[in-house]
Amino acid sequence: MSLPAGAGPALALAALAASLLCLPRSPGPGRLAGLAGAGTNGRAPRRLPVGVALFVAGGLGGFLLLGPAGAVCGPAAVAVVRRRRDRARTERLRAAAAAELADALSRITDELRTGAHPAAALAGVAHDAPMARELLGPAEAAARLGEPVPAALRRVAEGRAAGRRAGTGTAAAPDLERVATAWELADRHGAPLADLLRGTLDDIRWRLAHGSRVRAQLAGPRATAAVLTTLPLFGIGLGQLMGTDPLGVLRSGLLGQGLLVAGCGLTAAGVLWSEHILHAAVAR
């Protein structure tokens, strides 16, 4: 495949810049500074975040390969890839948190049905999975101190909701809100807590099973969307093999740069829109 003049050194320089930006910092200077104890005020030297390094590398590589428009498209491509990766990671964490919470609720329900006190049933959270301990730990502390358990659950739910809006957390807020509502109904009206928690547990497990089935059925559409996303790259590669030099056209002239920005923008919009459609198909 023939590349435009200067594209080979540009690619090599972009790869070198990306590797230098992502290279881990040597621990030697930090150890020497810690032993000397001077000049750092006890603070570790600041490091360039990996996300910033990737954006800089994408912009530099795009500029060297495709000119000023490439400097815009490179970081945009990095942002789209990182968004997809972060969304997939959030989905995995959400499913794992819901599964661990369901297991903990199943244990609590079984203990309540055998006649255990709610505080004693919550005390067993120390033996549950890590995310279940994180979610139900404040409720266990509240029950031990004689404070309202629903209020403790709602505080954790509010923190999870805030973390979800900020891009962190496991998005377990709706499930915790359901548990808090069931607990509040039992405290206020004397309804059997085990039955109410069993209903919440069945709902969580149904959504987990339904989400797993839907994701399996959406594997084909996801693969199709991925193929359609990469088709423009294959088209450019085919053009290079045929000798039409599409990279040279995109590098030079206002028209080529405008076409590059428009193509990257439409591709990114298509990726995000398809991800939104597939994401909305799974029950929350």
Q: Are the C-beta atoms of residues 95 and 211 closer than 8 Å to each other?
A: yes
User: Do 224 and 158 share a structural domain?
Assistant: no
**For residue 39, is it within any domain?**
no
Tell which of 166, 185, 211 closes a domain: 211
Query: In this model, does residue 7 exceed pLDDT 80?
Result: no
**For residue 190, is it within any domain?**
yes
User: Do 105 and 75 share a structural domain?
Assistant: no
> CA triplet 187, 103, 176: central angle to 5 degrees?
45
Least confidently predicted of 22-31, 146-155, 186-195, 265-274: 22-31
**For residue 225, is it within any domain?**
yes
Give residue 283's pLDDT band: very low, low, confident or very high (50, 70, 90). Answer: low
Sign (positive or negative) of CA dihedral 232, 261, 65, 15: negative
User: Do 198 and 130 share a structural domain?
Assistant: yes
User: Do 206 and 106 share a structural domain?
Assistant: yes
Domain that includes residue 270, residue range: 7-23+48-88+218-280
> CA triplet 184, 165, 148: central angle to 5 degrees?
20
**For residue 34, is it within any domain?**
no
User: Do 171 and 267 share a structural domain?
Assistant: no
User: Do 206 and 109 share a structural domain?
Assistant: yes
Give residue 52's pLDDT band: very low, low, confident or very high (50, 70, 90). Answer: confident
Give residue 56's pLDDT band: very low, low, confident or very high (50, 70, 90). Answer: confident
Q: What is the pLDDT of residue 163?
A: 65
Give the whole-angstrom CA distance, residue 142 versus residue 123. 11
Q: What is the pLDDT of residue 121?
A: 94
Q: What is the pLDDT of residue 205?
A: 93
Residue type, 174: P
Query: In this model, does residue 186 exceed pLDDT 90?
Result: yes
User: Do 204 and 109 share a structural domain?
Assistant: yes
More confident residue, 152 or 29: 152
Q: DSSP state, 127?
A: G
Tell which of 194, 211, 228 closes a domain: 211
For the chain, the domain total comes to 2
User: Do 222 and 84 share a structural domain?
Assistant: yes
Give residue 35's pLDDT band: very low, low, confident or very high (50, 70, 90). Answer: very low
**For residue 32, is it within any domain?**
no
**For residue 36, is it within any domain?**
no
**For residue 67, is it within any domain?**
yes
Query: In this model, does residue 249 exceed pLDDT 70?
Result: yes
Distant-in-sequence, close-in-space partners of 138: CB < 8 Å, separation ≥ 6: 152, 153, 155, 156
